[in-house]
Amino acid sequence: MNHRIGVLGAGVMGAAIATLAIGHGVPVVLVDVDEDTLAKARKEVRQQLKLARLMGKLPRTGEAELVTTTDYADLADVTSVIEAVTEKPELKAKVLAEVSGVVRPGTVIVSNTSAIPVDEMADSVARPEDLCAIHFMNPPYLIRAVEVIRGPRTGDETMSRVTDLLAALDRDGVVVGDGPGFVINRILQRSINEAARIVEEGRATPEAVDAAFEGCLGHRTGPLATADLIGLDNVVDSLRVLHDRTGDRGYEPCDLLVAKVAAGDFGRKTGRGFYEHGGAL
């Protein structure tokens, strides 16, 4: 089938998902409430296309069209929607309800949530059977594997369409069950929180924590460098989602994480988090 994807939210993930799609020849309608964010995203997508091609991760030529808009009505003819707005449950609920009213029945609605259960978001859409989640890693145009979450109300037809969509995007889906944080973030967010707590206690520096995971355990990137890549704002939002839904104190964002976010130090995207960024990457 000829895919045409609507992407909601032109932040870090929304823009990068748009890059992945148009780089594979799948046209994208990118929606955001803010024109400046859209203008910035258009520039980022151009650069990311170059980066991915330079690294041999996307076909060298032949990208599809990218349309940017602030009007949900422009989503009327898309074949699927990927929601990538900020990890705030009430915002996701609002956006999903809105888009569900615009697209044709049978249009797959995918949330790129970090941690909110699919079945919780399903309450916000007109047709819960059309909804599932795909947890893309950052950056999605470089990392092939994605976590695919099937909610209890997700339909077979939706799962089959998602498989088709991921094939068009040349991604490998790992299908898992529903619940706060799914598989990756149920474990990863807790690890990041604990690693940050260790730094807060003064038991180890960020460099030492990451060096131990990288050198001793063979992780490609340690938990705190991973946190900087994800964005500490998103880490704290995801931890709150997990904490609110599980009551597990291990997910309560530690003071150091909260302080960094309050100071505007979100990691790579602002130039500073647990590490300084901006020089040679």
Check residue 218 for interaction with another protein (CB under 8 A): no
C-alpha to C-alpha distances, 124 to 101, 109, 189, nearest whole angstrom: 10, 12, 25
CA-closest candidate to residue 212, choices 202, 225, 201 = 225
Candidate list 60, 94, 104, 203; residue touching another protein; CB under 8 A: 60
Instruction: Look up residue 45 and give its two tokens.
Output: 């997508």
Cβ 22 to another protein, closest distance in Å?
15
Residue 135 known to be catalytic: yes
Check residue 221 for interaction with another protein (CB under 8 A): no
Candidate list 33, 34, 39, 50; residue touching another protein; CB under 8 A: 50
CA–CA dist 131, 242 (Å, integer): 21
Check residue 54 for interaction with another protein (CB under 8 A): yes
Q: Is 54 or 174 the residue whose CB approaches another protein more closely?
A: 54
What dihedral do alpha carbons 196, 202, 206, 212 form, nearest 10°? -100
CA–CA dist 267, 251 (Å, integer): 20
CA–CA dist 275, 200 (Å, integer): 14
Decide the pairing of beta strands 80-83 and 131-135: unpaired
Check residue 281 for interaction with another protein (CB under 8 A): yes
Draw the binding track, 9-48, toward another protein (x: CB under 8 A; -: no contact). Answer: --------------------------------------x-
Stretch that binds another protein, among 27-35, 53-61, 146-154, 157-165 (CB under 8 A): 53-61
Residue 231 CB neighbour total at 10 angstroms = 23
Check residue 61 for interaction with another protein (CB under 8 A): yes
Q: Which of 3, 135, 219, 277 is catalytic?
A: 135
Could you list the active site residues?
135
| Binding region for another protein (CB under 8 A) | 47, 50-51, 53-55, 60-61, 279-281
